Amino acid sequence: MKTKISVIVPLAIGLITRVASGQSTLDEGYMPGLTVTGGDPVGVVDREAFDDAQAGDTVADMTVNLQLLGGYNGDLYVSLIAPDGTSAVLLDEPGAGVNGFGASGAGMNITLSDDSANAIQNETSAIPLTNTYQPADLLTVFQGAPAAGTWVLYCANLGMGDGPTTLVSWGMDITVLPAPEPSASELGALSVLVMIAARYRPSSPLKKCKV
């Protein structure tokens, strides 16, 4: 029975792609523009698809960008949930554990990174925040989680009497690991496929004609 070239080629390409692929950093941003009412623990939920990632990609490293306008920073609670349900708290009433009432500024446009020496939970500033901070929970909790799929951001303003906060935008920079590299048996299969493809000779559509 002849091996079909239409079967060989996709298999070979798939295995070659897995061998050649490596880490890459992808970024996506979202602009929900949601109003977060003060004193409402229900808060708001924004669900967004991380479309740049492929099925099988997993998180190796990541940072989160967060832009909020208005309200009272010391009363904010924000968490992030990965497609597989893994979650991390990004903000939990910043500064409240330091001075009892928290960061009194209104709004922020920040980056959250595990590598930062500035912990967001220690921030007590009375001005809008613009630095890079270490989140309340380390983002390493997402290592190994799927990058592709729907990510969920939850945001609440827990302070009674606070003016509304607007979740202007948020986004993620994710360094992904592709699907696991092929095993030794898969590499062997790739070699066989390449040899078969090299030897394959399609029969000519032209027939010899008798004169």
Q: Give the pLDDT of residue 100.
A: 95
Sign of CA dihedral 97, 103, 108, 110: negative
Has this prediction a pTM greater than 0.85? no
From the first residue on, what is the mean pLDDT of each consecutive set of 10 residues in the chain (211 residues)?
Answer: 48 49 89 95 97 96 98 97 98 97 96 98 98 98 98 95 93 91 58 62 50 47
Q: Give the pLDDT of residue 194.
A: 58
Domain boundaries along the sequence of the chain = 23-177
Q: Which of 11, 28, 31 is nearest to 167 (CA)?
A: 31
State which amino acid sits at residue 69: L
Tell me if 104 sits within 8 A of 159, measured CB to CB.
no
Phi and psi at 87, nearest 5°, equal -135, 155
CATH code given to domain 23-177: 2.60.120.260
Q: How far is CA 142 from CA 21, 39, 46, 53, 133, in A?
A: 21, 29, 18, 15, 17
